[in-house]
Amino acid sequence: MNFPVIIHKDKDSDYGVIIPDLPGCFSAGDSYEDALANTREAIECHIEGLLEDGEPVPQAMSIEQHKSNEFVQDAVFALVSVDLSKLSGKVKRVNITFPERLLSQVDSYAGSHGESRSGLLVSAALEYISSHTKTA
């Protein structure tokens, strides 16, 4: 799953990162690259906490959707990719059946977006559950 992030740097400070789709999730780093690497870890930890608490994982909006917010229109955005299939503890292998044509589409899409088949299916399942779960 790709998460848009907002990167900012004030004079005499580290790079700060805000993950707008995950309220309360922030990161920083000495360099731009460190900030993005630390952000991936922050997102993974944040989502782990949500899953452990039985909370839905918020859907990641597009950068264009975020840019419509007047507070971030001039922000510097980046995408941080997180493989959600590696989260939430122990991994369990399952056997599922897919129509061959659909499986080819899944593999093609995953490959073109730098994801694994498992990562894409986990992201899709979490996104589906999140969009169909009522929040209190």
Q: How far apart (Å, rounded) are the C-alpha atoms in residues 15 and 36?
A: 9
Domain encompassing residue 108: 2-131
Q: How many domains does the chain have?
A: 1
CATH of the domain at 42: 3.30.160.250
88 lies in a domain?
A: yes
Give the pair of three-digit tokens for residue 60.
């990641």
18-47 core/surface letters (b: 16 or more CB in 10 A; e: else): bbbbbeebebbbeeeeebbebbbebbbebb
- Residue range 23-73, pLDDT digits in tens: 999 999 999 999 999 999 999 989 888 888 888 888 888 888 888 877 776
- Residue range 62-121, pLDDT digits in tens: 888 888 877 776 778 999 988 777 776 666 778 899 899 999 999 999 889 878 888 888
136 lies in a domain?
A: no
Q: Is the pLDDT of residue 17 over 80?
A: yes
